Structure 1
Amino acid sequence: MASVRFESVTKRYGDGVALRELDMTVNDGEFLVFVGPSGCGKTTTLRLLAGLETATSGHLYIGDRSVDTLPSKDRDIAMVFQSYALYPHMTVAENMAFSLELQGLSRGEIQQRVQRAAQQMGLETLLQRKPKELSGGQRQRVAVCRAIVRNPAVFLMDEPLSNLDAQLRGQARAEISQLHRDLGTTVIYVTHDQVEAMTMGTRIAVLNQGVLQQVDTPQAIYSTPKNKFVAGFMGSPAMNFAEGVLINRDDQIWFQSSALTLPLPPLQSPTPYQRYLGQRVIGGLRPEDLHDPRFCPADIPTSPLRGTIHHRESLGNEVILYLTLADGQTLMARVDRRSEMALGDTVELLANTAALHWFDPQTEEAI
Structure 2
Amino acid sequence: MTTADTPARALPRTSENLLLAEAGEGTRVQFSGIVKDYGATRVLHGVDLDVAPGEFVSLLGPSGCGKTTALRVLAGLERATAGSIRLGGKDVSSVPTNKRDIGMVFQSYSLFPHLRVVDNVAFGLRRRRINRTDAAARAAAALELVGLGHLAERFPHELSGGQQQRVALARALVTEPRVLLLDEPLSALDAKVRVQLRDEIRRIQLRLGITTVFVTHDQEEALAVSDRIAVMSAGRIEQIGTPEDLYLRPATAEVAAFVGVSSVVLGVVAGGALTVWGQPLPLQIAAPDGEVDVFLRPENVRISSADGSGTEAVVQESTFLGSFRRTLVRTLDGALVRVQHAASDRVTFDDRVRIALDPVPVAVRPRT
Select 2:362's aligned residue among 325, 338, 357: 357
What is aligned with 2:7? none
2:355 counterpart letter in structure 1 = L
Cα separation, 2, equivalents of 1:45 and 1:197: 17
Cα separation, 2, equivalents of 1:142 and 1:171: 15
Instruction: Classify 1:305/1:360 alpha carbon distance in 2 versus 1 (closer, same or farther; 3 Å).
Output: same
What is aligned with 2:244? 219
Cα separation, 2, equivalents of 1:303 and 1:9: 52
Cα separation, 2, equivalents of 1:196 and 1:244: 31
Cα separation, 1, equivalents of 2:273 and 2:217: 37
Instruction: Classify 1:291/1:324 alpha carbon distance in 2 versus 1 (closer, same or farther; 3 Å).
Output: same
Select 2:278's aligned residue among 223, 239, 261: 261
Counterpart secondary structure, 1:68: coil
What is aligned with 1:332? 338
What is aligned with 2:291? 280
What is aligned with 1:243? 266
1:151 aligns with 2:156: no
Aligned structure 1 segments of 4 or more residues deviating by more than 6 angstroms: none
2:316 counterpart letter in structure 1 = H
- The C-alpha deviation readout for 1:204-234, integer Å capped at 9, x for no partner, is 0000111110000010111000000100100
Please report how far the alpha carbon of residue 123 of structure 1 lies from its aligned counterpart in structure 2 after TM superposition. Answer: 0.8
Cα separation, 2, equivalents of 1:53 and 1:19: 12
Please report how far the alpha carbon of residue 312 of structure 1 lies from its aligned counterpart in structure 2 after TM superposition. Answer: 2.1
1:69-148 map, 5 Å: 69-148=94-173
Please report how far the alpha carbon of residue 330 of structure 1 lies from its aligned counterpart in structure 2 after TM superposition. Answer: 1.3
1:319 aligns with 2:325: yes
Please report how far the alpha carbon of residue 253 of structure 1 lies from its aligned counterpart in structure 2 after TM superposition. Answer: 4.7
Cα separation, 2, equivalents of 1:142 and 1:303: 57
Cα separation, 2, equivalents of 1:62 and 1:220: 26
RMSD: 2.1
Select 1:291's aligned residue among 292, 296, 302: 302
Contact 1:303 1:352 survives alignment (8 Å) = no
Cα separation, 1, equivalents of 2:310 and 2:40: 50
Counterpart secondary structure, 2:366: coil
Cα separation, 1, equivalents of 2:258 and 2:233: 10
Contact 2:105 2:181 survives alignment (8 Å) = yes
Select 1:27's aligned residue among 17, 42, 52: 52
Contact 2:57 2:230 survives alignment (8 Å) = yes
Contact 2:309 2:354 survives alignment (8 Å) = no
Contact 2:35 2:44 survives alignment (8 Å) = yes
1:6 aligns with 2:31: yes
1:39-58 map, 5 Å: 39-58=64-83
2:294 counterpart letter in structure 1 = G
Instruction: Classify 1:340/1:143 alpha carbon distance in 2 versus 1 (closer, same or farther; 3 Å).
Output: same
What is aligned with 2:5? none
Cα separation, 1, equivalents of 2:68 and 2:251: 23
1:168-187 map, 5 Å: 168-187=193-212
Contact 2:62 2:233 survives alignment (8 Å) = yes
Select 2:41's aligned residue among 6, 13, 16: 16
Equivalent pairs counted in the alignment come to 341
Cα separation, 2, equivalents of 1:78 and 1:29: 14
What is aligned with 2:228? 203
Identical pairs, percent: 38
**What's the TM-score once normalised by structure 2's chain length?**
0.88
**Stretch of structure 1 that moved more, 302-311 or 223-232:** 302-311
Cα separation, 1, equivalents of 2:174 and 2:309: 57
- The C-alpha deviation readout for 1:171-230, integer Å capped at 9, x for no partner, is 111111110111000000000111110011000000011111000001011100000010
